[in-house]
Amino acid sequence: MRLNLLSAAALVSMVATTALAQSRQDFTLINRTGYDISEVYVSPSKTDDWEEDILGDDLLEDGERANITFSRAGKTCMWDLKVVYSDDDSSAVWHDINLCQVERVTIRYNRKSDTTSATFD
């Protein structure tokens, strides 16, 4: 019985390690802009294609957060991020974000300067 418990613990440890390795680019996107975001795109920095809107039909409302997860086990760490606002279809883009080191991206909009910024933690 004790051997079975040790084998089960080893298996759980291996599965957890594999899951962590596959999702090292996962991050939380926080909207602190004062506006709703209708589209979010995350693509490898080396490509010219934004791929699909990861929000689909959903909105990322002001003050909300979205957990962005990656299903592929790619080794790419450098990614670009694009958000599109629902009120006027304007967008903001950030390039070369190291998602292997970033766990949280917080987006803010400054109305006085009319600029969108992001912090990467």
User: Which percentage of the chain shows pLDDT scores above 90?
Assistant: 71
Mean model confidence pLDDT for the chain? 83
Sign of the C-alpha dihedral, residues 47, 39, 89, 118?
negative
Sign of the C-alpha dihedral, residues 66, 39, 27, 109?
negative
Please answer whether residues 31 and 108 qualify as being in contact, where contact means their C-beta atoms are separated by less than 8 angstroms.
Answer: no
Provide the residue count of the chain: 121
Unique residue bearing structure tokens 């299903």:
71
pLDDT value, residue 16: 42
Please enumerate in sequence order all residues whose Cβ is within 8 A of that of 30, keeping only pairs 6 or more positions apart, or say none: 64, 65, 104, 105, 106, 107
At 83-106, the pLDDT tens digits run 999 999 999 999 999 999 999 999
Q: Is a pLDDT exceeding 80 seen at residue 115?
A: yes
Q: What does pTM read for this prediction?
A: 0.78
Q: Which residue did the predictor score with more confidence, 6 or 93?
A: 93
At 40-55, the pLDDT tens digits run 999 999 998 998 999 9
